């Protein structure tokens, strides 16, 4: 068990999950759901390609795993660590699950919904609001994403067929 405010440590676990995603040909996004006491309830990474499921983002997979483990669809008192700012679908799931704090690494200027393109986490938008801390180990998180997409572009130029279009 680790101190729940050790954001670098838990983002490190999320980065490990992102690496697992990249090894599987998935976009390297990792997530870890932690209780306020520092217990890791779930670890996950993107599985959209592997599962052929557009909702299998790291955040959603982590929430599903934790909800199954805890046998509750509500996860109050939890912190979600994720390497990339969540999209609208994932922020909506965090709100529905009653997650208290979202800690993310790299900002997502294309589809981020925690202050990037839109901010669905603002208090008053919904009955439950999620607090947000962005930019934790942001450079490491962004570098993994940049490397992944750079390598994908290189494979495409070499004539290899990518796993997904």
Question: Which long-range contacts (C-beta less than 8 Å, at least 24 apart) are formed by 91-95?
Answer: 91/120, 91/121, 91/130, 92/120, 93/59, 93/60, 93/63, 94/59, 94/63, 94/130, 95/120, 95/121, 95/126, 95/128, 95/129, 95/130
Only one residue has tokens 């390497």, namely: 83
- Catalytic residue of the set 17, 26, 59, 85: 59
Catalytic residue flag (residue 59): yes
**Active site (catalytic) residues:** 59
């Amino acid at each position: 068990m680790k101190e729940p405010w050790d954001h670098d440590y838990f983002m490190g676990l999320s980065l490990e999950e992102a690496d697992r995603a990249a090894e599987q040909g998935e976009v390297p996004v990792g997530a870890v759901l932690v209780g306020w006491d520092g217990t890791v309830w779930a670890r996950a990474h993107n599985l959209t390609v592997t599962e052929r499921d557009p909702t299998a983002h790291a955040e959603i997979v982590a929430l599903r795993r934790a909800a199954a483990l805890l046998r509750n669809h509500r996860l109050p008192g939890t912190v979600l660590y994720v390497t990339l700012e969540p999209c609208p679908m994932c922020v909506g799931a965090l709100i529905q699950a009653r997650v208290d704090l979202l800690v993310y690494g790299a900002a997502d200027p294309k589809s981020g919904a925690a202050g990037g393109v839109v901010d669905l986490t603002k208090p008053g938008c919904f009955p439950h609001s999620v607090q947000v801390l962005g930019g934790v180990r942001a450079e490491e998180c962004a570098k993994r994403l940049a490397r992944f997409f750079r390598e994908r572009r290189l494979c495409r130029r070499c004539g290899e067929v990518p796993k997904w279009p």
